Amino acid sequence: MAPSSRRPSWDDYYLELASIIATRSTCLRRHVGAVIVKNRRILSSGYNGALSGMKHCEETGCLRDRLSIPSGERQEICRGLHAEQNAILQAAQYGIAIEGSALYCTHQPCIICSKMCIAVGIKRISF
């Protein structure tokens, strides 16, 4: 195999980065990572978990588990944010324009995160 053929495609590269970012997740149910990219430059990243400064679910336990709430339901009870939300908020906090960008995520975004991506001008989502 020629050395150049071992290089991952840009999509594969960013999806792999999202997988690495997901390892920082503090969620007990699922580890998700997201990367926002524009013109092959990484603008922001995020993983799912409790808000900065709050106790993590690793410390407090998962309220949704205690209440036997199935995955994907009653998300408002969760103390954490989704990876996509954290990546968007991180960009906003530091004044990084993400309009026209692409989002790479380890899992398919939920409908709320999909709407947020559209609202902020993310043009492409890969998972």
Whether 84 is a known active-site residue: answer yes
Residue with tokens 């998700």: 32
User: Are β-strands 49-50 and 80-81 bridged in parallel, bridged antiparallel, or unpaired?
Assistant: antiparallel
Q: Which residues are annotated as a binding site?
A: 82, 110, 113
Q: Which residues are annotated as a binding site for Zn(2+)?
A: 82, 110, 113
Cα distances from 15 to residues 9, 34, 67, 68, 71, in angstroms, run: 10, 8, 33, 31, 23
Residue 80 in tokens: 């954490």
Residue 11 in tokens: 């999509």
Rounded Cα gap, residues 81 and 18, in angstroms: 16
21 and 47 in contact (C-beta within 8 Å)? yes
Active-site residue, from 58, 76, 84, 99: 84
Give catalytic residue positions: 84
